[in-house]
Structure 1
């Protein structure tokens, strides 16, 4: 991700485990979550140099433009409709410095939970009180292509919260310039 200390923004930090890991590696970290319960749990694990901020990822982020070297999200950006996902990606681009890195992990369309529950829109389902927008590499490439240069995009299988799962992973870099197209 970064070979030198930088400023990392984690979206949807949950218990704060990943935020503390980045801090232990020498990065300055701002970690957000919409849930007061998650933020309380994250803070109880010790701040370790992490600044925790209550923020709704689906709304404009309370951070200034081009502030962060990295924006990171593990399994917290797959809850939004297509239109909101595109808005969230634009916000991520806004807060990333030019050349900054966006790293994210999403539930994949290969996930065992895919197509289970009530269909809300293409590749988005509600099941047992959880809404999930499952993404595949072509979709993720499409929604990031205008803002980022994709460096890694693929799928892998693994464990999520004690269950077999499948993921789409993304590493992308914010373009240094828009090439004069505005």
Structure 2
């Protein structure tokens, strides 16, 4: 019988702490962050769900977006917080289990490469939180791996689209994500499946990119 794994696990947390401590993550802003900047409402705060080494949070802050970024990796938050950048705040937290009204004036929510790091239940809980806490007309920006990603099917199958290699990843059908977003009262502004812009070294990631507005 297949075991369905919940994520993030303690092993995943240790993996990411070590990864960010080694400073192996790229420092330049992601292509996705750069591509959606013009759609960000700069009069409102942007909340990043799972910021890692802060590459995109710092990018938004440098472009006059008040930014709050959370990540479960205490090591990543410690390193980010020592940077001395203005216009951005970092907090340790599980973005799949945030309390309602924890953050104020949230007009933008940004998640890149994080929704595929959690199990399906946590993903749904996160979308529910976005629905309940994003302001009216607020913007939602999502990028994560799809079932067409070359890593899909590699490692140990733990159920519900999840596979474990060095760490957990869950691969989604883009049509399912679109449906999930729309069912929570969002209008889809842009949807695409990107086969090249998220590549890094030998990781040829295939991702969905979604921009949606809360209506």
Q: Distance in 2 between matches of 1:63 and 1:21?
A: 25
CA pair 38-111 structure 1, distance change in 2 beyond 3 A? same
Q: Tell whether 2:63 aligns with 1:22.
A: no
- In the TM superposition, residue 24 of structure 1 has moved relative to its aligned partner by 1.3
TM norm structure 1: 0.87
In terms of fraction of residues, the more strand-rich structure is: 1
The CA deviation string for residues 36-56 of structure 1, in whole angstroms up to 9 with x for no partner, is 111122223333220111110
Contact 2:81 2:90 (8 Å CA) reproduced: yes
Q: Which of 198, 203, 209 is 1:169 aligned to?
A: 209
- The 3-state SS of whatever aligns with 1:165 is coil
Q: Distance in 2 between matches of 1:62 and 1:54?
A: 16
Alignment root-mean-square deviation, CA: 1.8
In terms of fraction of residues, the more helix-rich structure is: 2
- In the TM superposition, residue 116 of structure 1 has moved relative to its aligned partner by 1.0
CA pair 161-37 structure 1, distance change in 2 beyond 3 A? farther
Structure 2 partner of 1:67: 105
* Matching of residues 112-127 of structure 1 within 5 Å: 112-127=150-165
CA pair 160-14 structure 1, distance change in 2 beyond 3 A? farther
Q: Tell whether 2:135 aligns with 1:97.
A: yes
Bigger RCO of structures 1 and 2 (CA < 8 A, at least 6 apart):
2
Q: Tell whether 2:183 aligns with 1:146.
A: yes
